[in-house]
Amino acid sequence: MAKMIPNIISPEIKSGAERKIFEWFKNSTDTTDWIILHSLGIANHSTLIYGEIDFLVLAPKLGIFALEVKGGRVGRADGVWSFTNRYGNTNTKSRSPFEQAHEGIFSIMEAIKKTGNIRLSSLLFGSGVMFPDIVFETEGVDTHQWQVFDRRDGENVGAFIRRLAENCRREWQETYKSFPADKTPDVQAIKDLAQFLRGDFDKVVPLASRIQDAEKELIKLTSEQLLCLDSLEDNPRCLIHGAAGTGKTLLALENAKRSIISGEKTAFFCFNVMLGDWVKKSFESSGILPNFAGTFHDFLLQTIKNTGIQVTIPLQDIEQSQFWQIDLPMMFFEAVEKNPIRFDKIIIDEAQDLITSEYLEVFNEILENGIARGKWTMFADFSRQAIFLDNVSSEKLKDMIASCASYTNYHLHVNCRNTKQIGSAIQALTGFDTKAYINTAIDGCPVRYCTWHNIEDQKEQLETILSNLIQKEGIAAEDITILSPVHKEKSVVDSISHKITNYEVQHKGLTFSTIRRFKGLENAVIILTDVTSFDNSKVIYVGSSRARSMLIVFESDKAHRQRVSH
């Protein structure tokens, strides 16, 4: 049987005639050592900018033959050829299929000649046309009947090639009165020709290209998100909840912009400081500015300070909790007694971290018509991202909102941030309910797990990977963020030689952040370091879900055993 290159026919080939002939060549028993190239492109075609041969047959002891295939009904009128497929669709060409095949083989032989390989460029060659669906008995000045394969030949493609070889050899002898012994190719010549015309290769797609391709796909809004935005237009109070990567912040921004454009006095609140900075930059770059954008606590502080009230933030963690949750809202109410603030609409991102009785009272105060009758949209992840309100269940958080107002509930299910591989890893590492989380179909890089035995081992592995990603793979340093459950001074990052800066919105170069501070943000490549356990599934969930296109996890021996045993 012949060797087909490629060995399967492309699904893009719609021609039933080509498909039949491909199978006939592939299954023929009298074509040993033949190589048959299908859909061979010709960059340097003799008459066209780019041409293609349907089949090129390389047959030892016979020669090289270009074949043009025409299925269905064939006709010619006033020199114009017409071809009608099984669906009744007709197309016309001024060039005959015989001309196409003849020009194709001459272009191939000319390309071989330009290599300087006299042996290969002087081999016997010819052309033919295959009409598997009809009987073609017409002869003309540009055709010979022996060049035609039609229904009368059945499936005997081998005999057709031998007929072509015999007649091409006869024509050569009639023209040159002799036929050199080396005019027909041997098995090695056939292999050399195939290598030249369509040689084997394995070009690995660069990692940077794979990441760029995934990034382009991931920036598109899903149809689910668009439906959500449309529904917000008709509902004054909405709670939008969904897992990490379902596009909540993107929707929150778009919702705010639509409110601003409609003339509403709008405020955008979030919890995370770095996310607040990113949100402000996003509004600034769009030129559509709300009346306030940033963290809820920053809003409280600004309002209080604007009235001249002195604020001292305590240094101790235990005192800070009391300050942010109790003391600061009380000072805010004192401030707005002097200078009332009202918004027509408020948008609250990261709502799972901002739903407390004290904060809800603030929202009620600043919103026109209050929480019960005013216009607001909250975006929340009640499943795994409520990492700042300890021991408060998602049910209790929802109940607190429901006790204040009636609202429309909308659940986002589609992950449009992470690639398929990262989404699967998030589920495996955290036990996230797969029924509530549909992974994106975007394909990306496999998630990598690097097991370390001690800090020095983790340091060496991390430095090697960073060097490979940036220097060898060509990934931009600013596309990489290292996240850790611990602060930088306690992290392996503090001891490595690469220049790493703390993450900022308009960052340049390689960056670092704790997982908690990075909540709500993302980057193309995320490296999780210092993972000694997967027990805190909420932190692991937040960290791993920050990666859009590539995730690398540095796990201790203990964490590795914990992961693989699940």
Domain that holds residue 14: 3-198
DSSP code at position 234: T
Q: Establish if 193 belongs to a structural domain.
A: yes
Tens place of pLDDT per residue across the chain (566 aa): 888 887 777 666 777 888 889 989 988 888 888 999 887 654 454 544 345 788 999 999 999 999 999 988 888 888 888 888 877 788 888 888 888 888 888 888 888 888 778 788 788 889 999 999 899 887 665 678 999 999 999 999 999 999 999 999 998 888 877 777 778 889 998 888 888 877 544 444 566 766 666 666 655 556 667 677 777 777 899 999 888 878 888 889 989 999 999 999 999 999 999 999 999 998 998 899 999 999 999 999 999 999 888 888 887 766 788 888 899 999 999 999 988 999 999 999 999 999 999 999 999 999 999 999 999 999 998 765 555 555 567 788 888 899 999 999 888 888 777 888 888 888 888 876 544 455 555 777 889 999 999 999 999 999 999 999 999 888 999 999 999 999 999 999 999 999 999 988 777 899 999 999 998 888 999 999 999 999 988 899 899 989 988 999 999 999 999 998 87
56 within some domain: yes
User: For residue 437, what pLDDT is reported?
Assistant: 53
Q: C-alpha distances in angstroms, 540 versus 536, 546, 565?
A: 6, 10, 17
Asked which of 394, 415, 436 is the last residue of a domain, the reply is: 415
Q: Does residue 42 share a domain with residue 170?
A: yes
Say if 288 falls within a structural domain: yes
**Could you give the 3-state DSSP secondary structure of residue 176?**
helix
Is residue 421 in some structural domain? no
- The total of structural domains in the chain comes to 3
Both 462 and 314 in one domain: the answer is: no
In a domain, 527, yes or no: yes
Give domain status of residue 24, yes or no: yes
Same domain, 254 and 148: no
The alpha carbon dihedral of 359, 362, 368, 373 has a sign of positive
Backbone φ and ψ of 243, nearest 5°: -70, 170
Contact indicator for 271, 514 with CB cutoff of 8 Å? no
Cβ proximity of 346 and 369 under 8 Å: no
Q: Please identify, among 198, 213, 246, the residue that sits at the C-terminal boundary of a domain.
A: 198
What per-residue confidence (pLDDT) applies to 201? 44
Picking from 358, 391, 415, the residue at the C-terminal end of a domain is 415
Is pTM beyond 0.85? Reply is no
> Looking at the structure, do residues 84 and 161 belong to the same domain, yes or no?
yes
C-beta of residue 17 within 8 angstroms of C-beta of residue 70: yes
Three-class DSSP category at 547: strand
User: Could you give the CA distance from residue 135 to residue 151 in angstroms, rounded to a whole number?
Assistant: 5
CA dist., res. 384 & res. 365, Å (int): 29
- Residue 230 placed within a domain: yes
Assess whether 172 and 226 both reside in one domain.
Answer: no
Q: The domain spanning residue 532 has which CATH number?
A: 3.40.50.300
Are 194 and 84 in the same domain?
Answer: yes
Residues 225 and 265 in one domain: yes
Q: Where are the alpha helices (DSSP H) in 287-419?
A: 296-306, 317-322, 328-338, 357-366, 370-373, 394-402
Q: What pLDDT score was predicted for residue 114?
A: 82
Report yes or no on 247 lying in a domain: yes
Q: Assess whether 240 and 300 both reside in one domain.
A: yes
Q: Are 241 and 193 members of one domain?
A: no
- For residues 34 and 126, membership in a common domain is answered with yes
Amino acid at 152: R
How many CB atoms lie under 10 A from the CB of residue 347?
Answer: 30
Cβ 386 vs Cβ 352: under 8 Å: yes
Residues whose CB is less than 8 angstroms from the CB of residue 260 and which lie 6 or more positions away in sequence, other chains included: 266, 288, 289, 290
Residues 397 and 480 in one domain: no
Please indicate, yes or no, whether residues 269 and 406 belong to a single structural domain of this protein.
yes
Torsion of CA 183, 188, 191, 196, to 10 degrees: -70
